[in-house]
Amino acid sequence: MGAVTAAGLGADALWNAARTGNSAVREVDLPGRENARVNIAAAIGGSTDEAIAEYTNATTDRFAAMTLLATEEAFGQAGLTQRSLEERCGIVLGTGAGGAVSTDRNARAFYVKDVDAEPMSVPKVMPNAAASLISMKHGITGPALTISTACASSAQAIGLGFEMVRSGALDRVVVGGSEAMLTPAVFRAWEMLHVLTPTASRPFSTRRDGMVLGEGAAIFVLEAADSATARGAESLAILAGYGTSSDARDMLRPDAEGAARAMRLALQSANLPPAAIDYINAHGTGTVYNDLAEARALRMVFGEQTQTMPVSSTKPIHGHCIGAAGAIELIVTVSALHAQIVPPTINWLGADPKCPLDPVPNESRPVGMEAALCNSFAFGGINASLVVRRDQR
């Protein structure tokens, strides 16, 4: 697996920030937002930004550049050779906005400065650009797909890749997602929904008042167990189950029954009972209604177990990365299984009686874990849950 987030370059940087509760949220300086109510985000900067810039060019938007960079880490860790990246390998990625940075820049150039758009602006902003660039760079001739389902995008991309490998259609698949949407116009659009906090994200906590946007990318190499064993690859974890559902109710307001259905389907897919799950990495945005709905859904699936089972959200650390959220949080979940440490829900001020959970408040906790579940719920009523377990082979 590989990652590019506001916490730094690499999956280890992401996990270290999540484990220690070291938030990457900071004030951001965006043109035209000097008097805005919300001016915080988990924005990438410093040496990580410089590394992204090396992959950004006339045909590559920021979201795709981050994907390429995260893919390099994942491929290096997986020990893939060119022979492994041909017909029996596919790509499934997720993004919510695609090339938002290029869209914003070209619109500003045309409407404000009255100059032409970049000649390659169309291929730069296409949501499928990242998948195509990975395919071209590494010679992957299998299917190259892009999923765009808002905040569930990368979780569904991972789930679809999982199903393709499990069905035998592919030996391995590159999955994950990326999002780079911290532009003035997009930021303002989210602010107008009244879901952003001006202070701090506090999932499941009393006095929570919204989420914090972020940007980043996370990539995994999923591979059939026999294929990985044949080439001597070291497994980080077993992706055991995937469930997805649609609320079919409201575009913005989450529905507990739909979320519960996705979790049950993921458990069925993994052939595990609810009692087998030792940790849940929650969607946990820190908005009032999302946290209430997720807490209710967890109660529907896990019952009294929710009062003692650790359920944490790491979005206050790396931000809500929309289409990349599920993949970034799956890296945290896999890392938690490896370390046997549950990352904390930081900024927590006190229990909300309507969210009867154990959110691992403010400090990480050693926990013996064999299996974990990772949730992603999206506008449009789209839900996705992934189950991972330790590889004990």
Residues assigned a catalytic role: 151, 283, 320
Nearest to 357 by CA among 324, 313, 322: 313
Task: Classify burial at 230, counting beta carbons within 10 Å of its beta carbon; exposed 0-12, middle 13-18, buried 19 or more.
Answer: exposed
Asked whether the beta carbons of 61 and 105 are under 8 A apart, the reply is: no
3-state secondary structure of 305: helix
Distance CA 309, CA 358 (A): 6
Residue type, 358: D
Amino acid letter for position 218: A
In angstroms, how far is CA 386 from the centroid of its own chain? 12
Dmax (CA) for the chain in angstroms is: 62
225: nearest Cα among 214, 235, 210, 216 = 235
Burial 348-360 (b: 16+ CB within 10 A, else e): beeebeebebbbb
How far apart are alpha carbons 219 and 210 in whole angstroms? 27
